[in-house]
Amino acid sequence: MEYEYEAMKEIATFINKSIDELKFDEVDRVVKRLVDAYNSKSKILVMGAGRSGLVGRAFAMRLMHLGFNSYVLGDTITPSISKGDIVVAISGSGRTELIITAARAAKKTGAEIIAVTSFLNSPLGEISDLVLEVPGRTKLADEHDYFARQILGIHEPLAPLGTLFEDTALVVLDGIVVGLMYRLGKKEEDLKQKHANIEL
């Protein structure tokens, strides 16, 4: 069980370090913008590819439990978006072509883009209105990233591909959900009322 244990510890340690490195003014701006969207009944469209998309789905579900009009890109019930709506685009590298293309299309409708990425100066970061930088190794691995990972003690076999970004993003977005609960005066009972009650 050595590898499993070491991987779990390493991922948890990385998440803890990343939380300490977060720019909480960015977190605050994201939370405030989402509160505004809630009050104006604007739509929130969440998107991400692959595992980042799964993180996005978890976030969109919690937003729905809070009473937001939240949707996930690609679902058949997702409505059109327009000016005043928000797109939360999740991409560790900020270079995922599908997400950049969708974000550009959303921008043309007048929607506001919030990027969740590890790279502020990525194509996604550059077209976004707000950027929430979430540290994490992504699939984008150049030589500089390799040496930085070695210095930090992050070894590739223990956290393959974008694992560190995806896990950290999930924790950060769950933290934002709690912040929204407090700012909107919601309790766990309120979320339970929106929770699915027909399950197999």
Q: Which residues are catalytic?
A: 166
How is residue 30 written in tokens? 């994201």
d(CA 77, CA 80): 10
Q: Where are the alpha helices (DSSP H) in 49-155?
A: 50-66, 97-108, 123-127, 143-152
Residue 88: φ, ψ to 5°: -100, 110
Residue 117: φ, ψ to 5°: -155, 165
How is residue 101 written in tokens? 């293309």
132 Cβ contact list (under 8 Å, min separation 6): 26, 27, 30, 114, 115, 116, 117, 172
Q: Which helix (H) or strand (E) holds 18?
A: helix 2-21
